[in-house]
Amino acid sequence: MISKNKILFFSLVGLVFMFIAMNSTLLNICEETSYVCRTNMDFWEHIFYFFPFILFFSLLTFKLKDSVFNAWWKFARVAIPVIFLISLYINLKSNPNGGGWFSIEDQVSLIELVILYSVFVIGSTIQIYRGHKGGSLGPS
């Protein structure tokens, strides 16, 4: 079984990549005038938005009993890849040209991501609670 330390490390690495993508012009990875580079970094930035949630819940369960972590991990090991792939799909279907900063397509994608991440947060909270109380949901 995967350990708490591996999940924590994985979430920290994802957070670092999110920081790099968000600050690509400050870190001189992209020039401010490079539309293609910024578009690519924005794409990856949106993909890595999910990692703070993983970090939060891995930190939340880190000092708790292993049974609580295992209850959460049963849910998360299915939810994380699914949410990652759906986030990838949402970002691939987004059309970055036209519409300016507040195009309707960007707003719809944002709403989809908020709903998706909310499902993860609610599911994680339920699993942690059930693990703490002794019950468990999700695949074995």
Residue at 126: amino acid letter: I
d(CA 45, CA 113): 13
Task: Output the pLDDT for position 70.
Answer: 84
Residue found by looking up tokens 């939060």 in the block: 56
Pairwise pLDDT comparison (140 vs 24), residue with the higher score: 24
Asked if pLDDT for residue 133 goes beyond 70, the answer is yes
Report the alpha-carbon angle 42-14-29, nearest 5.
45
Cα–chain-centroid distance for residue 101? Answer: 22
Task: Report residue 132 as tokens.
Answer: 């703490």
Enter the pTM of the model: 0.68
d(CA 135, CA 37): 48
